[in-house]
Amino acid sequence: MSSEQFNYDVLVIGSGPAGQKSAIQAAKAGQRVAIIERDSLFGGACVHRGTIPSKTLRENALRVKHMRQNAALADFELGEDTEMHTLINRLDEVLKSHDDYMRKQMDRNDVERIHGRASFVDNHTIKITKVSGDTADVSVKTVIIAAGSYPRNPDNIPIDHEHLFDSDSILSMLYLPSSLTVLGGGVIASEYASIFQALGVKVTMIDRYPTPLGFLDSDMTDTFVHAFENMGGTWMGSQNVEKVYWDGISDVVTECADGTVVRSQKLLCAAGRLANVDGLQLENAGLSLNERGLISVDENLCTDVANIYAAGDVIGPPSLASASMEQGRRAACNALGIEIGTMSQLIPAGIYSIPELSSVGLTEKQAREQYGNVLVGTAQFAEVARGQISGNTEGLLKIVADAEGKKILGVMLVGEGSTEVVHIGHMAMLSNADVDIFVESTFNFPTLAEAYRIAGLEILAQRPGK
């Protein structure tokens, strides 16, 4: 079939970060592009139920936390009947602005937006079911699957979105609860647990692993847990949850295998997310999910079927909006034969808990496993004036270098501002700069960035022959 016989050169399934960037890239390359979204809202779960709403709530949680830190307002508490919408009061404005921008960008690049459901008839034919129920088959040269993910809800957690919530529905609560149980110890669980605790909710975090965020070094997670408990939160690790139920009166009851019982007004289950491919009928296109419930792709983001690519949460970790955007762009480029450089494996990870955590490159644990001996330099935010001025004293920056103390293998931070400050280390690593760059550079005073110099000096002092 010639290109002229296709309805679209590129059809993108899903309008989240990966879908948006792939559609724009394909359109800029002169392709006939359509993007299909089954949700009435453009932008996917990231925009409307995840990243942007939770970060908007986080900003107000930080304000509440800072007011409590102020000696004159030490007894500041939110009212028991605080409505959730007052805590995400700017959300509608933020979402409308983002939505307007994305729609204009799509229109400007002549990307057709379709509101409906997509399902494969074969690898070159997509059935589109509109909201009205009308259906149409369209022929497509290339398909990019960027359908995102949805919460994984274990069988023993009866999510009802009224008392027991998942990460997509947690912000639909009408009122700020007095207490909240959070099941899970990953990124989403850690973010919401610390945000609600900062708002004054009594939060209990329960997970089967001994520490939250186990992919990070223990000094990072220890700092997070210490800060969470200092705010009044309770961390319960190495626990197996056996039963969860609403008692029909006032509490959600969580029963653990060791006999521990936790009661709370509301519960959030954050047990990971699954590829959002239900209804796509992948088998008709010759595709199937791998053992992890994800779509497998090669280094070019191509699936097992030559004309079908995938990007974002449907292909699994790192499952970051930033990485998904780049994956989407690259999927389109690779599908169209546009020359691009190799995608850097140096993708910074940002965890928007309170305090923030961020990393790029190898953790200390990974570096020791890979390189054997390494040199590590650390700097406490309490050691820099900006940390003291802002009350951000629990923070920590760590640089991991090779055994010679020269090559930067990884940078990790915990503390407010980490997700911004990490980019200095990221740029140094992308430039193949030695640790010396942090010592020989002048940083603004007072800034958290000065911590790089302190950590760098610590590594230089450990160099062989010193």
User: Quick one: average pLDDT of 334-340?
Assistant: 92
Does any domain span residue 431?
A: yes
Q: Are residues 439 and 395 in the same domain?
A: yes
Does any domain span residue 298?
A: yes
Q: Are residues 174 and 287 in the same domain?
A: no
Residue 99 has pLDDT above 80, yes or no: no
Q: What is the pTM of this model?
A: 0.88
User: Quick one: average pLDDT of 193-205?
Assistant: 95
pLDDT value of position 347: 87
Q: Are residues 92 and 157 in the same domain?
A: no
Helix axes 51-69, 187-198, angle to 10 degrees: 40
Q: Are residues 315 and 329 in the same domain?
A: yes
Out of 271, 286, 315, pick the residue that ends a domain: 271
Query: Dihedrals φ, ψ of 452, to 5°?
Result: -60, -40
Which is it for strands 135-145 and 266-269: parallel, antiparallel or unpaired?
A: unpaired
Does any domain span residue 175?
A: yes
Domain that holds residue 99: 3-48+88-151+274-336
Q: How far apart are the first and last CA of the chain?
A: 69
Is the model more confident about 153 or about 438? 438
> What's the domain count of the chain?
3
Give 8-25 pLDDT, tens digit per residue. Answer: 999 999 998 999 999 999
Is the model more confident about 342 or about 387? 387
The CATH number given to whatever domain includes residue 432 is 3.30.390.30
Out of 287, 303, 336, pick the residue that ends a domain: 336
pLDDT value of position 146: 96
User: Quick one: average pLDDT of 74-97?
Assistant: 66
Q: Where are the beta strands (DSSP E) in 146-211?
A: 149-151, 164-166, 179-183, 202-206
pLDDT value of position 320: 81
DSSP collapsed to 3 states, 140-157: EEEEEECCCEEECCCCCC
Q: How confident is the model at residue 292 (pLDDT cuts 50, 70, 90)?
A: confident
Report the distance separating Cα 151 and Cα 375, nearest Å.
39
* DSSP string over 101-121: HHHHHHHHTTPEEEEEEEEEE
Q: How confident is the model at residue 74 (pLDDT cuts 50, 70, 90)?
A: low
Q: Are residues 278 and 142 in the same domain?
A: yes
Q: Are residues 267 and 332 in the same domain?
A: no
Q: Are residues 392 and 369 in the same domain?
A: yes
Q: Are residues 111 and 251 in the same domain?
A: no
* DSSP string over 274-288: EE--TTS-GGGGT--
pLDDT value of position 432: 95
C-beta of residue 257 within 8 angstroms of C-beta of residue 265: no
Does any domain span residue 236?
A: yes
The CATH number given to whatever domain includes residue 40 is 3.50.50.60
What's the whole-number average pLDDT of the chain? 90
C-beta of residue 325 within 8 angstroms of C-beta of residue 350: no
Q: Are residues 384 and 424 in the same domain?
A: yes
Does any domain span residue 348?
A: no
Least confident of 53-62, 148-157, 363-372, 448-457: 53-62
Residue count (the chain): 466
Out of 237, 271, 305, pick the residue that ends a domain: 271
Does any domain span residue 120?
A: yes
Q: Are residues 21 and 126 in the same domain?
A: yes
Report the distance separating Cα 373 and Cα 392, nearest Å.
32
* DSSP string over 236-266: E-S--EEEEEE-SSS-EEEEETTS-EEEESE
Does any domain span residue 66?
A: no
Q: How confident is the model at residue 426 (pLDDT cuts 50, 70, 90)?
A: very high
Give 107-140 pLDDT, tens digit per residue. Answer: 899 999 999 999 999 999 999 999 888 999 999 9
Q: Are residues 240 and 281 in the same domain?
A: no
Does any domain span residue 68?
A: no
Q: Are residues 406 and 448 in the same domain?
A: yes
Q: How confident is the model at residue 323 (pLDDT cuts 50, 70, 90)?
A: confident
